[in-house]
């Protein structure tokens, strides 16, 4: 609060300002808590729907396709890709796309560089709101992302027994500020996709065991 003219504020006025500030803060905190609760409920409901959709599937490719589609439509993303790693190469057999061309990748080298590569190799979730301005994106990676219609993305990798086995990527054709909840959801879906894929392969192995 301010005055255009010199003014001696009374104790009552100062107390009123403090009271109003406290009430505004309490209201904002209450609204934030409500928003967080709604977001958490929506996240849990989405994961339950995803689990129900993946449970009856028996083909690893179908699992990857359905998981990618569920996540892409939920987040309103342009692309969701689930990649499997073998050594330093990765394969993408199916993905979800909206407004961008789909691609199948077989045995391609993992080309992420610099800080992004180091973070992914540590199993961290990388969140980039604008690939053209983020200092963690190298010039080579920036050019590659631009050619693939990627302006913003969330990437996360899964490590099992000390090695990188899978990754899940969500991307946008325009810059986007991802929330912590959205980044966490990408990680959750990656883990559930991995579990479902491994389950189908284990079941197939038992079924065809001589």
Going from the N-terminus, what domains does the chain have, and what CATH number goes with each?
42-207 (3.30.450.40)
Euclidean distance between CA atoms 124 and 88, whole angstroms: 17
- Angle at 16 (CA atoms; ends 13, 20), nearest 5 degrees: 145
Euclidean distance between CA atoms 171 and 40, whole angstroms: 22
Residue 193, pLDDT score: 96
Residue 25, pLDDT score: 84
Residues 88 and 109 sit within 8 Å (Cβ to Cβ): yes
Residue 38, pLDDT score: 73
Query: Which segments of the chain have a pLDDT < 70?
Result: 34-37, 207-210
Residue 176, number of CB atoms within 10 A of its CB:
22
Residue 209, pLDDT score: 56
Which pairs count as long-range contacts for 85-94, CB under 8 Å and 24+ apart, including other chains?
Answer: 85/110, 85/163, 85/164, 85/165, 85/166, 85/167, 90/167, 93/61, 93/64, 94/61, 94/64, 94/65, 94/68
Residue 208, pLDDT score: 61
């Amino acid at each position: 609060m301010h005055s255009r003219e010199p003014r001696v504020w009374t104790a009552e006025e100062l107390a009123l300002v403090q009271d109003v500030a406290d009430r505004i803060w309490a209201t904002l905190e209450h609204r934030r808590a409500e928003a967080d609760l709604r977001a958490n409920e929506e996240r849990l409901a989405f994961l339950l729907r995803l689990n129900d959709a993946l449970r009856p599937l028996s083909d690893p490719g179908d699992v990857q396709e359905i998981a990618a589609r569920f996540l892409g439509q939920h987040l309103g993303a342009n692309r969701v890709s689930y990649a499997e790693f073998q050594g330093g190469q990765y394969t993408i057999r199916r993905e979800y796309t909206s407004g961008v061309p789909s691609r199948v990748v077989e045995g391609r080298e993992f080309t992420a560089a610099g800080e992004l590569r180091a973070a992914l190799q540590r199993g961290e979730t990388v969140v980039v709101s604008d690939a053209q301005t983020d200092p963690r994106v190298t010039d080579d990676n920036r050019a590659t992302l631009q050619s693939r219609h990627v302006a913003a993305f969330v990437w996360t990798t899964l490590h099992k027994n000390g090695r990188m086995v899978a990754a899940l990527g969500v991307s946008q054709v325009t810059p986007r500020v991802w929330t912590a909840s959205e980044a966490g959801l990408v990680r959750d879906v990656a883990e559930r996709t991995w579990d479902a894929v491994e389950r189908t392969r284990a079941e197939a192995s038992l079924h065809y065991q001589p």
